[in-house]
Amino acid sequence: MSVDSKESSNFSDKLDRRKFIGGVAATAGIMFIKPELVRGTAANSTVRVGLLGCGGRGTEDASNLVDTGGARVVALADLFQDQLDKARAHFDQVQQAKGYSTLDASQLFVGPNCYQQIASSSELDAIVVATPPYYHPRHLEAVVGAGKHVYLEKPVAVDVPGAKQVMEIGKRAEGKLSLDVGFQIRDCPPFVEMVRRIHGGALGNIVCGEAHYLTGYIDRPAWPDARPPEQRLRNWVHDRVLSGDIIVEQNIHVIDICNWVLKGHPQKASATGGRQGRPANDGDAYGNYNVIFHYPDGVDVTFSSTQFAKGWWDVTERFFGTKGTSQSPYTGPLGIWGDEPWQAAGSPAKDAPEAQKFSVTGSFTSNLEFADTEKKKSFVESITSRNFHNQAAKGAESALSCMMARTAAYQGHEITWDENLKSTEVWDPKIDLNKLR
């Protein structure tokens, strides 16, 4: 998965090479080959992709695959017709500009069973799953069961049983399919280079760390004509059960980086949190968390988050070691300071209001400029080269780390990793998808 840093001497060469491969793939996109052939025999063949969940992030993921990954979107599925129609118009426009035909009406699926229908389509090689997180294990089960490669948005699940289910699905997919999880920062060149240097000893012995995900409110439409179940589904990011709460759904990116840097998961966590700062009628998700994660070897990491802050945002991880300090913000100076200094040459950050859009769309600038690009290229290349990825276990590990902190905040006392793993609580939104209207 790793790529060289943006600053290294061969990064631009690698990027040019990948652009060339992507260009060849895009040119070849007007030729269709059988699914069993696309999985590995021709590195320049177009991978046929379906999108399950046509919201902002899913559309961004699938568009990245078209733009940079040598893929073509040939099928769409969503619970709601208006979401499907909007995505159809988008991809028809984008792909016609590349010389592709419009989407076939037979590959458009809508309603409660759309995930089964798109998974069963013989016209697809891979599916992007970007539905509300509560449904991820169920939808992943259908996609992998149908023999399709899958790009699963984070988090992999909202509860411990769901995370364990994803790990089991991952075991069944091992060596047969690519199963990527949407932690695109793990493929982002400056982050990859920084972590490589840390793992090489640039910080010495890591003593402690701190991280935060401080961002503004995610505003959503009121949907006044919709019944409450439909309102919850359309605005799932405000709903604890559908989203997993902000620490599992949004903050997980930061905690995943901490796990990456420290090569493992925290052993226990204590936490507080609440809804202070949020509108009274926007669901039940928290507006802030404060956590102390206890990692192996006595390394404690403090973490804080907001989802209501006005006039300010920042997402950063810092680690303090005996030889130096690392810092890895979304925008701003990223690098290592100390005995073995190194700094990434980031691009200029946009103004704060524009930059905050990352929290909804995942459209990044500055230090994360190449995150989505490299992630999607890596996913497609894993399929065409048959060097299949399997990120189910790591995705579940980071989700479980967040769930441990969430439970500590909910219950008001420290929770250990083993206690968390023993949880049998199955979250249930109590929504009948067949009775939304």
SS3 string, 155-224, reads CCCCCHHHHHHHHHHHHHHCCCCCEEECCHHHHCHHHHHHHHHHHCCCCCCEEEEEEEEEECCCCCCCCC
Please give the Cα distance from 386 to 300 (Å, whole number).
39
**Which pLDDT score, from 0 to 100, does residue 45 have?**
64
> Among 151, 149, 168, 148, which residue's Cα sits nearest to residue 160?
168
> Among 42, 49, 44, 117, which residue's Cα sits nearest to residue 79?
117
Distances in Å between the Cα of 117 and the Cα atoms of 52, 111, 120, 185 are: 10, 10, 5, 31
Domain with CATH 3.40.50.720 in the chain: 11-185
What does R_g of the chain's alpha carbons equal in angstroms? Answer: 21
Domain with CATH 3.30.360.10 in the chain: 188-361+392-435
**Which pLDDT score, from 0 to 100, does residue 364 have?**
45
**Which pLDDT score, from 0 to 100, does residue 366 have?**
82
> Among 185, 209, 255, which residue's Cα sits nearest to residue 401?
255
Angle, helices 160-173 vs 392-411, to 10°: value is 170
**Which pLDDT score, from 0 to 100, does residue 6 have?**
32
Backbone angles phi, psi at 225, to 5 degrees: -90, -5
What lies within 8 Å, CB to CB, of 386 at 6+ separation is: 39, 40
Angle, helices 252-262 vs 189-199, to 10°: value is 30
Question: Whole-prediction pTM value?
Answer: 0.86
Q: What is the pLDDT along the chain (437 residues), one digit of tens a residue?
A: 333 333 333 323 333 333 333 333 333 332 333 444 343 333 346 999 999 999 999 999 999 999 976 899 999 999 999 999 999 999 999 999 998 899 999 999 999 999 999 999 999 999 999 999 999 999 999 999 999 999 999 999 999 999 999 999 999 999 999 999 999 999 999 999 999 999 999 999 999 999 999 999 999 999 999 999 999 999 999 999 999 999 999 999 999 999 999 999 999 999 999 999 999 989 999 999 999 999 999 999 999 999 999 998 999 999 999 999 999 999 999 999 999 999 998 544 444 444 445 445 444 458 999 999 999 999 999 999 999 999 999 999 999 999 999 999 999 999 999 999 999 999 999 999 999 87
User: Is the distance from CB of 369 to CB of 379 less than 8 angstroms?
Assistant: no
First to last CA, the chain: 44
- Specify the CATH class of 11-185 in words: alpha beta
Q: What's the CATH code, domain 188-361+392-435?
A: 3.30.360.10
Backbone angles phi, psi at 385, to 5 degrees: -95, -10
Please give the Cα distance from 328 to 190 (Å, whole number).
9
Q: What is the DSSP pairing of strand 71-78 with strand 47-52?
A: parallel
Omega of the bond leading into 155 within 30 degrees of 0 (cis)? yes
Burial class (CB in 10 A: 0-12, 13-18, 19+), 241: buried
DSSP code of 367?
G
Please give the Cα distance from 355 to 365 (Å, whole number).
7
Q: Within a 13 Å sphere around the CA of 347, how many CA atoms are in the beta-carbon half?
A: 12
User: Is the distance from CB of 30 to CB of 96 less than 8 angstroms?
Assistant: no
DSSP code of 238?
G
